[in-house]
């Protein structure tokens, strides 16, 4: 995206997205999918659709409010589909869209990598702090 400030949500199709450019909208999108809760919600939904409370249990530690805000922003960006089911009481189910299914495995790969690095990071921190 160009370095010239642009109105929000407007994309000049003649320009390539460049996350290193401060005004590129890809930067904000990247932040939504890699946010503390956005990343975990997307990966949790890789296993299939989930109702709000089930998703909240899976993403351990998230508040109702933060999960709600996170899902709304992922829905707005087209990564998550929100379905109101006709039932008594009414139920809401969340699932990944095609775009969500494209990005979530990449995030899952990142999580797998970082989970495997925990002991090495812990060692590095110990050495750094002992300097």
Residues that bind a second copy (CB under 8 A): 1, 3, 9-11, 13, 16-22, 24-27, 29-31, 33-34, 36, 39-40, 44, 58-61, 75-78, 99, 102-103, 106-107, 109-111, 113-126, 128-129
Smallest distance, a second copy to C-beta of residue 88, A: 25
Q: How far is CA 71 from CA 22, 26, 60, 124, in A?
A: 25, 18, 15, 35
Closer to a second copy by Cβ: residue 59 or 96: 59
Closer to a second copy by Cβ: residue 13 or 90: 13
**CA dist., res. 102 & res. 1, Å (int):** 21
Smallest distance, a second copy to C-beta of residue 61, A: 3
Contact 33, 103 (CB under 8 A): yes
Smallest distance, a second copy to C-beta of residue 24, A: 8
CA-based R_g, the chain, Å: 18
**CA dist., res. 96 & res. 103, Å (int):** 10
């Amino acid at each position: 995206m160009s370095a010239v400030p642009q109105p929000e949500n407007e994309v000049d199709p003649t320009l390539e997205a460049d996350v290193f450019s401060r005004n590129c909208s890809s930067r904000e999108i990247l932040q939504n999918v890699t946010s503390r809760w956005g990343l975990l919600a997307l990966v949790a939904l890789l296993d299939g659709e989930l109702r709000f409370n089930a998703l909240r249990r899976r993403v351990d530690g998230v508040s109702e409010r933060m999960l709600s805000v996170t899902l709304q922003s992922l829905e707005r960006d087209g990564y998550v589909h929100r379905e109101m089911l006709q039932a008594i009481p009414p139920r809401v189910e969340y699932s990944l869209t095609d775009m969500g299914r494209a990005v979530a495995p990449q995030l899952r790969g990142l999580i797998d990598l970082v989970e495997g690095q925990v002991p090495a990071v812990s060692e590095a921190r110990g050495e750094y702090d002992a300097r």
